[in-house]
Each structure stands twice: as C-alpha cells, then as structure tokens.
Structure 1
C-alpha cells in the first residue's frame, strides 16, 4: 500500500458503502480524495476529511460516515489501522513501504513520478504577460501542478499578493530563480519576503540546499561510475526519513494541485533535500572498502531522490543543475 494508493482506496470505500446500502443511493462519490500526512499530535500516518464532504451531500453526521468508511478500509491489505478522530476525520496507519518498490517506481516514471494517470504535458505554458511577476509565478506553478494531476484550471483563483514596491527590482538584485523561489514558498495571499539570504550559496538558503542536493545525487553517480559500479535497486535499511519523503511526494503533488498551493511542493522539496544530504555520506565506499550490493542500493535510492528534486523544481518553473 502506497500513500497514493490510499487515496484511491478511500474512493473505492465510498463507492462500496453506497452499493452496499450503508450510505444513501444519492451519495456523490468523489472522483479523487486528498490524503495528507497527519499533523503533529494526530493519529496514524495519514488523514483525510472526506467524511465531511460526503456527509454534507446526504445530510448525515460526518462521524457516522467516517465510522462506515473506517470499517471498510480497515479490511484493506496494507492498511494496518483506520481510526476516526474528532468530528469525523479518517486516520490511517500503513504497513512499512518497500524501498525496492518505491525506488523502482521512481526509476520507471522518472520526473513524472507522482503524476496522475490522466496527466497532460505541463509545458509549454505562458501566463498573461500583463500579469504581475508574483501572479505569473504562482499561477504558472499552480497550472503545472494541476496538469500533472490531470486536472483543468478553470474556476476561481485565489488572490495573489504582489511583490512589495519597497523591494524594487528584485529580479535585477537576486536573479530570476531566487525571486521565483521566494514568490512560491509562501501562500499566495501573503507578501513574499526578499533579503540577501537568497544570494547565499550555503545551507542557510533553501533553494541552494534543494539544488545542491540534486547536484550531489548526480555527483554520487559520477563518482560511483569512476569506482566501477552502478545503481541497483535493493533494500536500504535505516533510510526511513528519505524513504518517507519520497513516498509522500505523490500526495504532496495532489494536495498542492487541489489547493493551488505551490508552497506545499516547495516545502516538501526542502524536506527531500535535507534528508538526502543527511543520507549521502553512506552511499559510496570509504577507504579500502569494496563496492557492495548495499552501496548499489543506496546509490539507487540517492538517484531516485535526485529525480524527485528535478521533477519538483521543474513544476515550480526552475531547473536542477547537474553541478554546483
């Protein structure tokens, strides 16, 4: 059971509840359910408020709807527990994710890992040139995210706070990519903040860490080739943090598209980058150590992380340099 599978399982559970008569026949089965990481203090690994959406359409208490769905979902292989909290939030605890399956999935799908089956090409795209710099950045990234999930981009758009006049010509001062990053890392209605940290080529800069982590993944591949070995998918014990961020990536794309919130993707890329930078030190052999199956598997995981970083940056409208 993957986090992305979980969303589809919830939809199937709603449909089954309707077919079995546990929910009214007029219940509208959602086409897609947004599942997100449980917030601090919550129960389980993932949560969804779908019961509120379903209950609203049939005039039933969300808690009752959630109880029905939790019982059905608790029978699904790969879901260890399905709990109901509060007024009707569904919470899930999943079984351990296979590193082998995860890395293989990323390698097969490349930078389109996390895209929905109905995804269309995210490029080329050009927003109305008369729009402000911030509006173009936010809307273009949101449209790419929507396209990655196979969705159109009609309907109301959230208001976008412009770059403050006091900041002047930010592109000239910080460069287009740093400005885009600053514009996309805060919610659309908030005014972005610009300062000289955007120019720092070090760990205090989030954009630098994301790009540097991608470059490190590519450097590891080059160095491994120089030592005579290539990545090979295998189990990687002890890499829970990095595996979790990669497994969550499809859910992050789905939620960012649903809420038209590119900042969710930007924040997640920082998590992936930091996890990879912590992990990188155990990838290559040290000293007289010979390359082993463990090194090959770690290299494949690092390669997968770099692929996710490159794909995420592309959705935000930025490139991922091979070297920094």
Structure 2
C-alpha cells in the first residue's frame, strides 16, 4: 500500500462517517487527500496522521472520538494490520507485510516514472541561474548555482512543471568595456587597466582574438586605433569567453534552453516600454531631473532611480524590463538564483513585481545562495590557475570530478555556507556522501548480476508477505517516501532534500544487505525459493529509486565501482 492509497482510504473512511451520520461534517469539508507521514519512532507504526485533530471542531466532536471512529473503519481495510489512537487524537497506522512489500513491485514496474508527480503541473516556470558575466571563467559560487539550479529544474520537471532554463547573458555595461580594455592591453604586452581583469585566461583570450581576426582576413586588432581595437576585442573576446563558459557548463551536465542577451533589452526598446507601463500605472515620478519608481509603496526601503538625470538607464531599468519580458513570454513563475552579495536586490525586485500587479514570492521568487569554501588537509585552499585568485568550475572538477562536485554542491541548503573537503570527496569511503550513495547503487547492480548467475529471476515469483524482517520494513518504508520527498523538494525549491533522502536510503540498504539472514542469493547448494526472488524485487526497487534520485541531481548511477 502506497501513501496515496492510504490517503484515499482515510478520505473514504471520513466520507463514509459523514454519509451514515456518524460525523456531522459538511461533505465538501472532507479532504480529497489526507496527509500522512512517517512517525518519528518506528515502533509507532508505518504511517501517522493528525486529520482527526484538524476536523473534529468543524464536526462538533472531540479529536479522540473522531480518531477512534476512523480507527474502527480503517481496521477492516485490506492491507492495514493495526490502527492505534495516540494522545489527543493522532492515528498510528501499521500495514501488513504483504501490503507494504507490494511497493517493491510497484516501483520496479514504474521504473524511471517512480517518484514523478503532478504537484507542480500547469505551471510554466522560468528558472534563471548561473548568469555569470562573460568576462572570465565561472567561479565557485557560480558552480554552486549550476549544480543547485539544474537539480532544481529537474525536480520541478519531475513534479509536472514546464521549466525553461535561462542564462542572462550580461553583454551590456561597464564590465564588458573593462574586459575589452584588459584584452587589448594584454595583447600589446601591457599591464591590465587598474579596474581591469587579470589571470592567465586574459592572455589566452587575447591571443585567440588576434588569431581569429587574422585567420578571417581581418586586420590584426593590435594595430588598429584604440577605439576600433577595443571594439574588436569586445565583440570577439566576449564571444570566445562565453563559448568557453557554455562548454564548461555542458561538460558539467548543465545546458540552457535560452541565452538571453541584456543588450536586446536596450536595443528593442523593452526598457522604454516597461517604464511607460509603470508610468501609466501611476508608479513613476520625476525628481531632480531623473525618473523614479516609487518602490516604497511596495515595501522597499527607498525609491529607485530608473532613468538618470543624464537620460541614461540605471541598472534597475534592465531588471525591470527583463522581469516584464519574462512575464510577457507567458511564464507564471519567475525564479532567479542570486549570489550571496545580492540580499539588497530582493526588496527592490519584489517591489517591481508588485508594481506590475503581480504577487511577490509567487510570480517572482528570488533564491540567495551562500559562499563555498574549499578545504584540503583541514585548511582553506586556493587552486586557481587560469583566473588568478578565483577558483573556477574547471579547478573543482579537476580536483574531484563532475559527480562529486555536483552532488556535494547540491546536498546542502543553498542558503547555508558550505565547506567542501577535497580530500574527503576524492576518497572511496563511506564518509564520502556521493561515494556512499553511488556504491549502494553499484551494490544493487552487483546483486542483479550475481542473481542471474545463481538462477534467481524476478519473473519466477513474488510474495510480498515474505518481506517481514525489520530491516525490510525499514527499507520499504523509506522507499515509500521518495515521491513525497521529490514533491517537497519542488515545493520548497530545495533539491538538497533529494540528496539527503538518498543517503538515508543507502544507509537502510547497506544495513539490509549486511543482514546474512536476508540474503538475496542462495548458497551454492541451496534451492532457489520465492524468498530469494522476492528479495530480488526489493533489491531492484532500491536500485531504481537510487538511480531516479541521482538522476534528479544530475549525478550518474554507476553499475560498478
């Protein structure tokens, strides 16, 4: 019996109590789905619910009385072994082994679909993440967003959302000019400007720009007047740098559906249109020769200049136009993932959202990520090579590999600082969380291979009632939680919940595997029985859920380690 089936049974019991007059409750108040959850203490049963406490007052009865009535009705339901009423009216429900163990077959037959749901269906989501400026390689903070953002997109899609991954290509403004000047200076053997960019990559990009121009039959940009040369290095340099960024992300398992160019907002007149729309709504005003947005009306700490007194658009103007552009493209929810230094951005952008008549926190959601520190031999470490003193995506992948990098960055809440122990992540031990989970999957695959050699086949028999050992009950119970964990990760925008679940599942599997009395494989001279075959179903159910969960994190599920 799955949690959904138990939820339906509880709803049916409530509806029956209303129908026979036992429960004086409006039929429309009976929930279609009753929330059930795993008890904190295993001895309290397989599932628990507080629905009696929620509905008793509306029904004019006590929670305890309602719980006792529901317990009597549920006790006769096939697959339910016992129902106990605890405290003021909690229901603790225990399933019989056959009803619980049936989940193993459900999972295996569902395959990759197990864990997918519809909690986010009908939502068209624009998820913007990474969006590093094309002025250098992706640094460690951007790498964290690459891992978390792509995992969140996968989790949302698994929950039914229509997700567009978007990269905001910042090719407009002062930082691009500084990048171009830095390339030009380096190409001529000069020091970078005081406000420019350093690192070996600047030399590499500058040399590539010169080679590309000459190969195309264009003049050597180093010989051109400064203004013309700078424009060549700007255009070709940004294109070359962004190509490297795309390639690095692709190798990291992250690809985007849309690369949105900031320049297009200014060239298309999108900024002007957004300003006029806000002006027509009465939210703009003129002061000191500048045009302001009255964001204090929507909770911001001060009003914001949108068009400066010299007629130039302020930085927020592009943000306003970009948000409106996303909404006009039909996205119901706009999620933007920002770095640790963007806390001040939240208030003003939520005010912009409200000024357009939208709901902050729903139509616009801003996620702030915290810092990543690298540790080796117990001490902070800098591994940067190409980018001066900045640790890049390539640095991290070179040190621990894609799987370990992605998993370790996605397994913690994004709003927490994290320390990545490079020694630990490179180690093939149970203390390494990604190894621990991947090893569990490879162990399930090894069991499959050995079972085939010993003549144990799922197709020959399945008796779920045989899964009656405490370690099997714990394992089945953990497997039932996976769909709820995925839905919760999507709702809360917290993909790290999937990683932590996988670690718990791997622990339960390793415990079960190590129980000699719970062998899947018969001894050499032992007859193959339904017990062996049924345990193989359970083994393969674990294998499927581990693979599904790792897939949501963009991490491979190895067959051998």
User: Which TM class, normalised by the smaller chain length?
Assistant: 0.7 to 0.9
Q: Deviations over 1:250-285 (max 9, x none)?
A: 334225514635444433322332333344463334
Q: Post-superposition shift, 1:17?
A: 3.2
Partner of 1:13: 13
- Equivalent in 426, 430, 438 of residue 203 of structure 1: 430
Work out the CA distance in 1 between the residues paired with 2:4 and 2:98: 12
Name the counterpart of 1:257. 487
SS of residue in 1 equivalent to 2:549: helix
CA change 1:135–1:264 in 2 (3 A) is closer
Query: How big is the shift at 1:237?
Result: 5.6
CA–CA distance in 2 between the matches of 1:275 and 1:299? 16
Tell whether the 8 Å contact from 1:114 to 1:250 is kept in structure 2 after alignment: no
Residues 181/65 of structure 1: CA separation in 2 closer, same or farther (3 Å cut): farther
CA, structure 1 residues 268+289, in 2 after alignment: closer, same or farther (shift >3 Å)?
A: farther
Give 1:165 deviation, angstroms. 4.9
> Which structure is larger by alpha-carbon Rg, 1 or 2?
2
Query: How do residues 93-172 of structure 1 correspond to structure 2 at under 5 angstroms?
Result: 93-97=94-98, 101-115=102-116, 127-130=127-130, 132-133=145-146, 136-137=149-150, 139-147=152-160, 156=362, 160=367, 162-167=369-374, 169=391, 171=393, 172=395
Q: Secondary structure at the match of 2:93?
A: strand
Give the Cα separation in 2 of the matches to 1:6 and 1:208.
35
Q: How does 1:304-315 map to 2 (within 5 A)?
A: 304-315=541-552
Q: How many residue pairs end up in the alignment? A: 315
Q: Which residue of 2 aligns with 1:273?
A: 506
How big is the shift at 1:208?
Answer: 1.2
Map 1:215-254 onto structure 2 (within 5 A): 215-227=442-454, 229-231=456-458, 232-235=460-463, 236=466, 239-254=469-484
Does structure 2 retain, via aligned residues, the 8 Å contact 1:161–1:191? Answer: no
TM-score by length of 2: 0.47
Aligned to 2:403: 177
Deviates more, 1:129-138 or 1:73-82: 129-138
Q: Take 1:71 and 1:169, find their aligned partners in 2: how far apart are those partners? A: 62
The structural deviation recorded for 1:210 is: 1.6
- More moved, 230-239 vs 68-77: 230-239
Deviation at 1:163, TM superposition (A): 3.5
Q: Does residue 46 in structure 1 map to residue 47 in structure 2?
A: yes
Do 1:211 and 1:321's aligned partners in 2 also have CA atoms closer than 8 Å? yes
1:214 aligned onto 2:441: yes
Contact map agreement 1:35 1:47 (CA 8 A) in 2: yes
For each residue in 1:129-170, what CA deviation from the matched residue of structure 2 results, as whole angstroms up to 9, or x when unmatched? Answer: 35744651563354145339xxxx967498755141545748
Greater strand content: 2
Pair 1:113–1:252, CA change in 2 (3 A): closer
1:159–1:188 contact (8 Å) kept in structure 2: no
Per-residue CA deviations over 1:167-202 (Å, capped at 9, x if unaligned) read 574854244433443344345554444223233222
**Contact 1:104–1:233, Cα closer than 8 Å, also in 2:** no
Query: The residue matched to 1:214 in structure 2 has which SS?
Result: helix
Q: Residue in 1 aligned with 2:528?
A: 292
Q: For residues 70 and 532 of structure 2, what CA distance do their matches in structure 1 show?
A: 43
**Cα gap change, 1:267/1:61 in structure 2, threshold over 3 Å: closer, same or farther?**
farther
Equivalents in 2 of 1:227, 1:81: separation in Å?
A: 38
Q: Structure 1 residues 42, 140: closer, same or farther in 2, change over 3 A?
A: farther
Mark the CA change 1:208 to 1:159 in structure 2 (over 3 Å): closer, same or farther: farther
3-state DSSP of counterpart to 1:32: coil
TM-score normalised according to structure 1 size: 0.76
* 2:115 and 2:158 in contact (8 A); partners too: no
Question: Within 2, Cα distance between the matches of 1:228 and 1:44?
Answer: 36
Specify the SS of the correspondent of 2:29. Answer: coil
The residue number in structure 1 matching 2:30 is: 29
Mind listing any 5+ residue stretches in structure 2 that lack a counterpart?
Answer: 132-144, 162-331, 334-360, 375-389
Partner secondary structure for residue 35 of structure 1:
coil
C-alpha distance 77-290 of structure 1, shift in aligned 2 (>3 A) = closer
Secondary structure, aligned partner of 2:403 = helix
